[in-house]
Structure 1
């Protein structure tokens, strides 16, 4: 099916497919981008699979921290698999079309896994809070049942809301164009193509982001404020260093995750460009997996 750009006034036209602009403005580096993203994908798959295998095999790692780490590694594999294979296909074939259903499914899984990441990061920060601030109660509070419930809640917590969010976005009429100035189906990029007033859709996005991003972020801030206060009270520099090392990798992922989301969804459109959105999305989708901490931590 050939791509036809819709005229703004042609509200009757039904869009059945979109066209990713992606990195089309960089025609000379398409091959380089393909191999760069391929390398990133392989590293993420191998690195996180290795973490999952080690956590399952090594009896010394049967602890809540590593249980959540294995969950997060599986999430990273799932997360990048929603977008990167399609990016690689587009770069290799130069066929940047995607049908409406495939775009909706990509958006749904992307937003569900993004919500899961926020919840898991909050659960991991709570785990570190209990371990550092209440070490004597740690085995009782973070028991296997509690950890399993927190993990299941993180994975399933955003599904119903994101089903509604996806249906709301794709119930719009698209008449401005069907060129998505991005390399995957994301809500802000799709809303730019919609006809008429999208203020209600944008408001619903803000509500969802506040619930699935701002709330976990506040929990993480509260946890780390307590953790920081406790670490500063430790009597020895060795103890402070050891306690801090168990949180460093988690903090790096938290910063990458929440900074990119805040800029993408809350930063004023007038002072950000599509290029900025693409760079942030690359950093977010291809962020380094959490490194396995010291077993003795």
Structure 2
């Protein structure tokens, strides 16, 4: 668990963050979103101590991050930047395994782990492990960067505008990959973006930051349907999905047919479905035209995000 307690940040007279109190739960894909210069990247960089707060404390697993050994803290975290930041003189496999090398893992085990991760991120190890970064496309480099962030099986991965330099098609592919890997690993991910649609697609929960202040924390549905103030409403106004029809959604293969449950809500539109509260495992269970169905909340938001991009 990550906890920000009364965080303030100031450079001279320039106030960056003001009294931020925020908790990120284990296993969440948590998104910090806001306009450029809002303070979200500063918050992220406090976790791995690239930046120290002027006031307050950041806690990781109930221990102040400033009390950790800095090298050990960073060796057990993944970090993915806007550009891949791969070492050009190292092969793909060597880039992925660099933290493992620093931890003293032997060469054969490092290569084996690199091969496993390349396959997980959709880059066949036999084709890519001995290439160099300049032989890869931008999207492929970012996949290698994601693989590198997972090499030590960290409890936490930090991602700072990691897909913003990619074209829309590649960006969607990387978002899909992150969602898949997160479902598989349940690693805590803190993701910074200025793109509200990306925040809605990725976040289990979203923290909205503006002018150094926390505006709202909530699920994507809560942010869209119950904005805390006018800034949040206006910021997400253009990201509101074009919802489409229930027929199109049911044909998307994201929806599972189930026996009709008496307690499930009856819906007639996608808007009604999107307003439902999921159960504790993230499923939205509903009835449509007398039949029972269910869909994962993340899948529904992903679907709605894809419709918006079209």
Q: TM-score category by the smaller chain?
A: under 0.3
Question: Which has more helix, going by share of residues?
Answer: 1
- Identify the structure with bigger relative contact order (alpha carbons < 8 Å, sequence gap 6+): 1
